[in-house]
Amino acid sequence: MDATFGPLNITPQSLAEEAGRFQHKLEAGLATLRGMDDVHFGVTAREEVWRDGKTILYRYRGERVPTAKVPLLIAYALVNRPYMVDLQSDRSLVKGLLERGQDVYIIDWGYPDRSDRYLTLEDYIERFIGGAVDYLRKAHKQDAINLLGICQGGVFSLCYAALHPRKVRNLITMVTPVDFHTADNMLSNWNREIDVDLLVDTLGNIPADMMNLTYLMLKPWRLFAQKYVGMVDILDDRKAMEDFLRMEKWIFDSPDQAGEAFREFNTQFFQGNGFVKGGVRIGDEDVHLGLVEMPILNIFAEQDHLVPPDASRALRDLAGTDDYTELSFKGGHIGIYVSGRAQKEVPDTIHAWLAKRSR
Amino acid sequence: MAQGSNDFEALARQYWGMWGDAVRGAIPQAGADAGVQGFRDALGAWTNMAGGGRGGVDAVLGHFNRQNGDWFAQMQQVAAQFAGREHSAQDVTRAWQQALGGNPFQGLMYGMRGPGLQDLEQWSESAAPWLQNLRNEASSTLGMPAFGFAREHQERLQALGQAQLRWQEALSDYNALMAKASQDAYARFESKLAEREEPGRQLGSVRALFDLWVDAAEEAYAASALSTEYRKAYGALVNAQMQLRASAQAIAEQASMQLGMPGRTELDSAHRKIAELERQLRRLQRKADDNEPRPAPAAVTPAARKPVKKAAKPVAKKAAGKAVKKAPARKPTKPAARKR
Helix (H, G, I), strand (E, B) or coil at A209: helix
Q: What is the mean pLDDT of residues B263-269?
A: 92
The whole-number pLDDT of residue B221 equals 97
Among the listed residues A85, A151, A161, A342, the single catalytic one is A151
Instruction: Choose among B211, B231, B275: nearest Cβ to A119.
Output: B275
Please determine, for residue B299, whether its predicted confidence score (pLDDT) is greater than 50: no
Looking at residue B43, its pLDDT comes to 86
Q: Within a 10 A sphere around the Cβ of A20, how many other Cβ atoms?
A: 12
Ranked by mean pLDDT, the top range of A24-28, B288-292, B318-322 is: A24-28
pLDDT of residue B70: 83
User: Is A159 noted as a catalytic residue in this protein?
Assistant: no
**CA distance, residue B304 to nearest chain A CA (Å):** 10
- Distance CA(B180)–CA(B103), nearest Å, equals 8
pLDDT of residue B47: 87
Question: Which segments in chain A show pLDDT lower than 50?
Answer: 1-3
| pLDDT attached to residue A244 | 94
Residue ranges of domains in chain A: 45-356
Across the interface, which of B88, B221, B329 has its CB nearest the CB of A321? Answer: B329
- pLDDT, residue B181, reads 97
* Of B50 and B17, more confident: B50
Average pLDDT over residues B38-53: 82
Of B8, B275, B298, nearest to A27 by CB-CB distance is: B8
B171-214 pLDDT tens trace? 999 999 999 999 999 999 999 999 999 888 999 999 999 999 99
Above 50 in pLDDT, residue B273?
A: yes
3-class secondary structure, A56: strand
Q: Do A8 and B202 touch (CB under 8 A)?
A: yes
Determine the pLDDT at residue B131.
67
Q: What is the DSSP string of B141-207?
A: TTTSPP-STTHHHHHHHHHHHHHHHHHHHHHHHHHHHHHHHHHHHHHHHHHHHHHTTSTT--B-SHH
pLDDT at B314: 35
- The residue with greater pLDDT, B50 or A297, is A297
A260, B272 contact by CB (below 8 A): no
CB spacing of A290 vs B333 below 8 angstroms? yes
pLDDT tens, position by position, B72-83: 989 988 999 998
CB-side exposure of B57: number of CA atoms within 13 Å?
22
pLDDT digit string (tens) for B222-257? 999 999 999 999 999 999 999 999 999 998 898 888
Contacts of A12 in chain B (CB under 8 A): 23-24, 80, 83-84
Residue B297 pLDDT class (50, 70, 90 cuts): very low
Rounded to the nearest integer, the mean pLDDT of chain B is 78
pLDDT at B306: 37
The answer, for B295 touching chain A at a CB cutoff of 8 Å, is no
Determine the pLDDT at residue B49: 85
| Residue-level pLDDT at A65 | 95
Residue B301 has pLDDT above 60, yes or no: no
What distance in Å separates the CA atoms of residue B302 and residue B314, rounded to the nearest whole number? 22
pLDDT at A42: 86
At B98 the pLDDT is: 95
Q: What is the DSSP letter of A67?
A: -
pLDDT tens-digit profile of B88-118? 999 999 999 999 999 999 888 877 766 555 6
pLDDT at position B42, please?
83
What pLDDT was estimated at residue B294?
52
Specify the long-range contacts of residues B101-106, CB closer than 8 Å, at least 24 apart: B102/B179, B102/B182, B102/B183, B103/B175, B103/B178, B103/B179, B103/B182, B104/B182, B104/B185, B104/B217, B105/A220, B105/B178, B105/B179, B105/B181, B105/B182, B105/B185, B105/B217, B105/B221, B106/B175, B106/B178, B106/B179, B106/B182
Q: Of B16, B243, B309, which has the smallest distance from its Cβ to A19's Cβ?
A: B16
pLDDT over 50 at B320, yes or no:
no
Confidence of residue B328 (pLDDT cuts 50, 70, 90): low
B34 against B44, higher pLDDT: B44
Domain ranges of chain B: 1-81, 86-282
Residues 170-229 of B with CB under 8 A from A: 193-194, 196-200, 202-207, 209-211, 213-214, 217-218, 221-222, 225-227
Please indicate whether, in this complex, the C-beta atoms of B325 and A327 are within 8 angstroms of each other.
Answer: yes
Is B336's Cβ below 8 Å from some Cβ in A? no
Residue numbers in A near B107 (CB within 8 A): none
| pLDDT given for residue B3 in this prediction | 55
Tell me the C-alpha distance between B58 and B162, whole Å.
40
Q: Binning pLDDT at 50, 70 and 90, where does residue B283 land? A: confident
- CATH fold of A45-356, please? Rossmann fold (3.40.50)
What does the angle CA B232 – CA B236 – CA B237 come to, to the nearest 5 degrees? Answer: 120
Query: Hey, are the CB atoms on B332 and A195 less than 8 Å from each other?
Result: no
Rounded Cα gap, residues B239 and B129, in angstroms = 22
The closest alpha carbon to A335, from A252, A247, A249, A212, belongs to A247
User: Taking residues B296-300, what's their average pLDDT?
Assistant: 46
- Which band of pLDDT confidence, cut at 50, 70 and 90, is reported for residue B23? low
Closest C-alpha among B187, B99, B90 to residue A8: B90
Confidence of residue B322 (pLDDT cuts 50, 70, 90): very low
User: Per the CB < 8 Å rule, is B297 touching A141?
Assistant: yes
pLDDT (tens digit per residue) in B127-176: 666 666 666 665 556 666 666 766 777 788 888 888 888 999 999 999 99
